[in-house]
Amino acid sequence: VYALVRVADEIVDGVCQQAGLDTAAQEDVLERFIAETHRGLDTGYSSNLVVHAFAHTARAAGFGRNLVDPFFASMRSDLHYDDPAGLDERAHDSYVHGSAEVVGLMCLAVFVREEHLDPATRSRLEHGAARLGAAFQDVNFLRDLADDTDRLGRSYLGPAHRLTDADRDRIVSRIRDQLADAEAVIGLLPIDSRAAVRSAAGLFAALADRLSRTPVEDLYRRRVRVPDLRKAAIIAEAAGRTWRERR
């Protein structure tokens, strides 16, 4: 899943452009990648190893174009981004649904592929997975302010190109709400996926804390990260909690 979305993201985020392709050529590359993904989903085979692995996973987990096509819709929108005012709330939510929420739902489908879930539990897990994906995306929007603004000329987080500290606080508050919704249902996941999901959620919670303490003008100059020792502690804590749940 990650490999497929990473390839698509690289196509629209400047790699093709850096190779000398104009917009029409970039669109052609993306559309051929989408068509190959569709064929892989339909047939279970692709000569493209990333697409083949993704298609095999999707078919085994029981998802298809219902989640794939919203993702590609957001990727297409990046190639046609031409709004100097930035994304308003509705456009932001639509973009995040396709670029992140459906990816969370893809991962959830993989995690629970062998589970027999009642409708209420499945609905709670799907809500949490979508909210976690949205939190990841908004964190990365804040972390990538400099690159998105200066290199790509995109403003994903609001109608103003330059955010204020108050804007940052509002966005971080939304991220924390999203993470809380996700963390509330991690215990419903199969035991073999909980430590990884907890680790990821913990890492992005730590990033949100660091973002909340970083002046927004600094975010336009540098990318916030969590130190390696703190990452190790987050993973150890997640693994320990999950180990205790096994007992």
Q: What percentage of the chain reaches a pLDDT higher than 70?
A: 98
Q: Is the pLDDT of residue 229 over 90?
A: yes
The reported pLDDT for the residue numbered 228 is 98
Q: Which residue has the tokens 């908004």?
A: 138
**Residue 105 burial (CB < 10 Å; 0-12/13-18/19+)?**
buried
Distance CA 21, CA 30 (A): 12
Average pLDDT in the 87-104 region? 95
Q: How confident is the model at residue 105 (pLDDT cuts 50, 70, 90)?
A: very high
**Can you tell me which residue has the tokens 């180990």?**
243
The number of beta carbons lying within 10 Å of the beta carbon of residue 124 is 15
Does 85 score more than 70 pLDDT? Answer: no
Answer yes or no: is pLDDT of 161 > 80.
no
| Selected residue with higher pLDDT from 23 and 41 | 41
Rounded Cα gap, residues 148 and 237, in angstroms? 33
Give percent of the chain above pLDDT 90: 84
Mean pLDDT across 39-58: 98
pLDDT at residue 82 is higher than 90: no
Phi, psi for residue 19 in degrees, rounded to 5: -80, 0
pLDDT at 128 over 80: yes
pLDDT at 158: 80
Quick one: pLDDT at residue 162? Answer: 85
Terminal CA-to-CA distance of the chain, rounded, Å? 31
Domain locations in the chain as residue ranges: 131-247
Residue 232: count other Cβ atoms within 10 Å of its Cβ.
Answer: 10
The token pair that represents 241 in the structure block: 């909690």
pTM of the model: 0.94
Task: Name the pLDDT band for 13 (thresholds 50, 70, 90).
Answer: confident
Residue 230 buriedness (CB in 10 A; 0-12 / 13-18 / 19+): middle
pLDDT, residue 17, reads 80
Axis-axis angle for helices 49-61, 2-12 (nearest 10): 130
Q: How much is the mean pLDDT over the chain?
A: 94
Q: Quick check: 176 pLDDT over 70?
A: yes
Contacts of 227 (CB under 8 A, 6+ apart): none
